[in-house]
Structure 1
């Protein structure tokens, strides 16, 4: 405990060697075990669910289609995000180890924002998939191939790499002469840069602009795509056809809603002057950052016809084999 007390002091020097993850401020000591257990269960849900989707789609040849390839890219971003953020905060409450080294904190910040931006652009690719499937169904198989999806998702991964490096390097130039306590469950840009003592506003404005680009450009395209899709569906003469077409978009809509709606709510609330207390803000950020990563695999399995049918066939085949042996 002596080490923690030394590392958490306020200092006037411009160089610190580590940060301290505050986690959930004000959490009573007797609740540490419960919180660490809940976070560990969340981590297991994210890891097991998304690894299952990756392996199942890889092994099931009938799912080697553009839509499910996009799901795999989303599952990979969710898996990586949970792996980057959760182990340290679990360690804090499980082993009372909230210290993270200076450069490890910046590395975590890089991956947090890089994966968030990549996920956002992959959601845009997913909207494009549904846009072409509904509005140009006869050309879908020719235009939107697995190769096309791989290229578009590759671009979605590659684009944020360069500017995220720039954001991290820009933040590294800040002199840190305030507290080294990160008021968050993981290192993100705002939590780190507020600890600087010079040029903080300039660094934050640039990062905020790029964050809004990563969020609003894909969101704008997604809203436009689904507006056109809804118009096209409403023009269909058959009510059965309308329901069937909309059902193919349900998983994508749920996944997109889970990702964007909480973020937009928080940004809008801040802009209209509604502020959250620090503990509430941390809980809200954790919920919208990590809960979708645990829920998305369930959506893939139970709201996607092909995956659901493949799972049923596997389950029935296994039951038949077991009953035959007995």
Structure 2
């Protein structure tokens, strides 16, 4: 441990510890991690490729799927290359600038994804509750503008996070008990006043993620109410089938994130380990499963993907 006892005059190097308590099993842990990552890249790039190639898929819903795929690729790629270096080669060191860069892009992709999920909920609301005006309300150009607004919102909200961390003093302990530069995990290493950092982190979580979740829940509440007013059972099944994929993706995206955010406020070893595992699952499982969910539930996309796979 003497190698990790860095003084405040040392260069700003942090040590990413991977998964605490399981260091001896890092090689074995890397097998499912790398497998999940490869599957997520293949699935999401397949979605991007098929939608780009097929003119019939140049619609708002599939444009949103491409945005979701890009955020999935971005989030997992911000973390996995460095994580695999830790697992395979024990390259645990990361500079302060590298840590802040990873933190910035990771949270930008995460907040942008939340905006994309909100837009997808609104897309389903218009498609089911006001189908006659769908083509005029949600055009490709309007969806692209909404995606750009979501990205700008993410950059403006996330940019203060690394700036607030940079002003903190770091003393002897620079060991991050994580496999990536998770914001609160880095803040906890400071020997200075972190009240501003913690408060801003909580504000982002409550205001942004909270408001996005409230909007999504209200939207699907209105969708369910509209569907229940339809007398035809066939129409019920069609409407609910349309929303099933979106609901599954949103549950997989928000549930581990919210639980991870709550558990990160506690310092007990058992809770901290649960938090780290959930954080890793949040970055690996949804990007891997999202293309599968939409490939199964969206007939147009499923048929086009099958066509390209059969050509190989």
| TM-score, normalised by the number of residues in structure 2 | 0.93
Question: 2:163 is matched with which residue?
Answer: 169
Contact 1:14 1:175 in 2 (8 A): no
Question: 2:239 is matched with which residue?
Answer: 245
* Aligned: 1:18 with 2:9: no
Q: Structure 1 pair 229/82, CA: closer, same or farther in 2 (3 Å)?
A: same
Q: Structure 1 pair 223/179, CA: closer, same or farther in 2 (3 Å)?
A: same
DSSP 3-state at the match of 1:19: strand
Contact 2:16 2:179 in 1 (8 A): yes
Question: 1:73 is matched with which residue?
Answer: 67
Q: Structure 1 pair 314/195, CA: closer, same or farther in 2 (3 Å)?
A: closer
Q: How does 1:282-293 map to 2 (within 5 A)?
A: 282-293=276-287
The correspondence for 2:200, drawn from 203, 206, 210, is: 206
Alpha-carbon distance, 1:138 to partner: 0.4
Q: Structure 1 pair 272/110, CA: closer, same or farther in 2 (3 Å)?
A: closer
DSSP 3-state at the match of 2:110: helix
Alpha-carbon distance, 1:126 to partner: 0.4
Question: 1:132 is matched with which residue?
Answer: 126
User: 2: CA distance between counterparts of 1:221 and 1:122?
Assistant: 12
May I ask how many residue pairs the two structures share in their alignment?
312
The correspondence for 2:173, drawn from 145, 169, 179, is: 179
* Aligned: 1:32 with 2:26: yes
Question: 1:96 is matched with which residue?
Answer: 90
User: 2: CA distance between counterparts of 1:61 and 1:73?
Assistant: 17
User: 1: CA distance between counterparts of 2:79 and 2:250?
Assistant: 21
DSSP 3-state at the match of 2:15: strand
| TM-score, normalised by the number of residues in structure 1 | 0.89
Contact 1:23 1:184 in 2 (8 A): yes
* Aligned: 1:116 with 2:113: no
The correspondence for 1:144, drawn from 138, 141, 146, is: 138
Contact 1:22 1:183 in 2 (8 A): yes
Residue ranges of structure 1 left out of the alignment (5+ in a row): 320-326
DSSP 3-state at the match of 1:62: helix
Alpha-carbon distance, 1:269 to partner: 6.3
Residue ranges of structure 2 left out of the alignment (5+ in a row): none
The correspondence for 1:217, drawn from 199, 211, 214, is: 211
User: 1: CA distance between counterparts of 2:6 and 2:144?
Assistant: 48
Larger radius of gyration: 1
* Aligned: 1:9 with 2:5: yes
